[in-house]
Amino acid sequence: MRHRLWALALACAVSLAGCAAIPTSGPIQTGDVALNDPGPPIPVAMEPPRDGTPETIVYGFLAASAAGLSDQFVGARKYLTYQAASTWVPTSQLLVYPSTGKLTVDPESDGKVVVRVPVQGSLDDAGVYTEAPPGGEQELAMELTQNVDGQWRISSLQNVVVMSSIDFTTYYRQVPVYFASKDATHLVPDVRWVPASGAASAAARALLAGPSPWLRDAVVSGAPEGTRLGSAGVEIGADQTATVDLSAAAGTANADQRNLLIAQLTATLSGLPAVVSSVEVSAGGGKPWEATGRTDMVRNPEPDTGPYVIAGNALQVLDGDKLTPVEGVAPLPVGAADPALSQDGEVRVVVVDGTRLLRLPADGSPPVQILAGPNLLSPSIDRFDWIWTARSDQPGLVAVSASGDAVPVSADWLAGSQVISIAVARSGSRIAVVHQGDDGRPVIDVAAILRDGSGRPQRLGPTFQVGQSMNGASQVEWMDESTLAVLGLSGSLVVPTTHMVPVGGQTDPLPLVDGTVTIAAGRGARALYLADSDGQLLWRQGAAWVPVASGVQDPVFPG
C-alpha cells in the first residue's frame, strides 16, 4: 500500500506543478500570443520515505528515476548508496513498458529485489529506439543494504531507467536527424528520441555525433571530426532563428562541408515541435557562416503520380477518381503482375507468371525480358533506375538495369533466408526487407545500400530491425522517409492489416479491411491504398478505407 501512496503523491505533484503560476485576480487583458511547443509537465522526484521497506524503496526509486530528466537524476540517487550513486549511469538505457502493463517488484532474502518489466521498447544512449517483440520482459536485479541510520538503500543495480509509454511520449520527442546521401543530393533521416526539454540542443548533439552504425557507410556529414556543440547549445530566438555555435573544430570545414552542415542542421531543427524558420551557424564564437553553394537537398521526396494498377490487361493510373491507361504502354501479356515504376515513370516493369521480369517500353512496342528465374519477387526501382528483386534459386537480392545488366547484391544477414518482400527508400540509401527469421517468423529489417561512384549497387550493410511487435509480415512499402507501411499480423489479429512501422519507433496497426491482398504507399498517411481479394482499390481517408476503383490488382506508386 505504501508504494501506491507514493505513486499517487508523485502524480499529484506533477499535476499541480503546471498550475502554480495561474493568476486568479486582476483585469482581463488582450495581447498577441506566439503559439509554440508548451513543453512537458515537470515531474517531481519524491524523497525516500523514512523507514521504508526494500520494496517501497525500489518503487520510490523507479518513480524518481523516471522523473530524472527534470533534476538530472539527483532525486533518484538519494535512493542509492554513495558508491552506487557515483557509478550509476542512468542515460545508458531506457526501458519503456506499455501503459497497460505492470511492474512487478519481488523482494527476496538478504535485501535482494527483482523488478520484472514488460518491455514495449528500449532507448539506447544515442537516442535510438528499438521495438520489443510480443511478450518481451526484462528482469532487473537490485541489492539493498542498510546505512548507518538503518535506512534501506540500493547498493547494486543496472544502468537503466524504466518509464511507462505514456510518460515516454510526454517527456521525449521523436526527431529525424539528417545526413546526406553519398552523392550529396538527398537528405537521409536517422530517427532519434531526445528529451523534450532542450530538444534542439539534444538533436544537434546527435547530429554531430554521427549516424547510427547500420547507416554509417551509406551517408556523409559535413561536420569535421571532433566537432561539438558550444556551451550555449542551440538558442531559438523570438524571430524563430536557431543560433548554433559549434566548437572550434568546425572551423576546419571547407565550403562544401559548411554548406552540407548548414543543410543538415536546418532540416534537423525544422523537424522540432518548436518553430524554426532559419538556422545561423558559427564556429568557436566566430562570425555566422554564409552558404556559398547549394543547401536545398531533396528531403522526403513525393511521387508526382499514382497509384498505378493492373486493370483490364493494361497498366493504368488513378487520375482523380478514374483509371486511365498509361500512354505508350502496350497491352500486358497474360499472367502479368507486380508492376513497378521509376520515380520519373520512365522505367516500367512487370513480372509474368512469377518467372520473367519484363520492361515495358514507352513507345508502345512489345515488352522486353530483362531477367528470368524461379519465384521472382515483386520488384522495387530505386532513383538510379536499378530494379531490385530476388529469385528463389539464388541467395540475397539482385538488381537489374533497364538494359538487363544483372548485379547480385549480397548481405550476410540474408544467408539461407527466404526473402518475402523488399522496398527501396526513395532517397536510394536504404532498403526495407521482409525475410524469414531464424525461428521461422518473418522479420522486417532496414539496411543501408552500398554503391559505387556511379550508383551501381554492391552490397547491403548491417541491419536495423523494426516492427518487432508484429507476428508476421507479407509486404513492405515506404510510407515516408522514416516510416514503413507493412501488411501483416499483430496482437490478436488472425487476418492481415496495414501497419505503420517507424524506423525507430512503435508499430501502429491501422483499421482492418477484410480480404486485403496488397498495399501501396505514396507519401504520408493520406497516400495509403490497398487492394482486396474482390479487386477493389481502397484509399485511406481518416480512420476509414474508402473504395475508389474496382477490377484492379497490385497497386503501386513510383519509386
Using DSSP, state whether 162 is helix, strand or coil: strand
**How many residues belong to the chain?**
559
Q: Could you give the residue range(s) of every CATH 3.10.450 domain in the chain?
A: 2-19+36-159
Which residues on neighbouring strands pair with residue 278, listed in sequence order? 241
Q: Which three cell numbers stand for residue 559?
A: 519509386
Q: Could you give the residue range(s) of every CATH 2.120.10.30 domain in the chain?
A: 308-556
Measured between alpha carbons, how far is 214 from 527 in angstroms, rounded to an integer? Answer: 28
Measured between alpha carbons, how far is 300 from 189 in angstroms, rounded to an integer? Answer: 9
The CA distances from residue 190 to 76, 180, 210, 302, 408, in Å, are 31, 10, 10, 19, 27
Backbone phi and psi for residue 50, each to the nearest 5 degrees, phi listed first:
-65, 130
Is 2-19+36-159 in CATH node 3.10.450? yes
State pLDDT tens for residues 135-181: 999 999 999 999 999 999 999 999 999 999 999 999 999 999 999 99
The CA distances from residue 414 to 353, 459, 464, 478, 485, in Å, are 25, 11, 13, 20, 21
Query: What is the DSSP code string of 299-334?
Result: -S---SS--EEEETTEEEEEETTEEEEPTT-PPPPT
Contact 444, 229 (CB under 8 A): no
Measured between alpha carbons, how far is 395 from 416 in angstroms, rounded to an integer? Answer: 7
Longest dimension (CA), the chain: 90
Q: Which residue in this structure is represented by grid cell 526473402?
A: 419
Provide the H-helix boundaries in 210-254. Answer: none
For the chain, residues with pLDDT lower than 70 are: 1-42
| Cα angle, residue 376 at apex, residues 375 and 377 outer, rounded to 5° | 110
Burial class (CB in 10 A: 0-12, 13-18, 19+), 125: exposed
Q: Which three cell numbers stand for residue 328?
A: 505508350
Contact 396, 411 (CB under 8 A): yes
Exposure on the CB side of residue 117, measured as CA atoms within 13 A: 23
Using DSSP, state whether 279 is helix, strand or coil: strand
Q: Give me the pLDDT at residue 427, please.
A: 95
Quick one: which H or E segment has residue 164?
Answer: strand 161-164
The CA distances from residue 109 to 58, 116, 144, 285, in Å, are 15, 17, 10, 58
Using DSSP, state whether 276 is helix, strand or coil: coil
Which residues are within 8 A (CB) of 48 and not within 5 positions of it... i.e. 6 or more apart?
Answer: 57, 60, 78, 79, 151, 153
Query: What is the DSSP code string of 418-467?
Result: -EEEEEE-TTSSEEEEEEE-TTSSEEEEEEEEEE-TTS-EEEEEEEEEE-
Q: Tell me the residue type at 405.
A: D
Using DSSP, state whether 12 is helix, strand or coil: helix
Q: Which residue in this structure is represented by grid cell 566537432?
A: 227
Q: Give me the pLDDT at residue 501, please.
A: 98
Which residues are within 8 A (CB) of 437 and not within 5 positions of it... i.e. 6 or more apart?
Answer: 417, 443
C-alpha R_g of the chain: 27
Q: Give me the pLDDT at residue 39, please.
A: 60
Measured between alpha carbons, how far is 451 from 185 in angstroms, rounded to an integer? Answer: 15
State pLDDT tens for residues 482-507: 999 999 999 999 999 999 999 999 99
State pLDDT tens for residues 226-269: 999 998 889 999 999 999 999 999 999 999 999 999 999 999 99
CATH architecture group of domain 308-556: 6 Propeller (2.120)
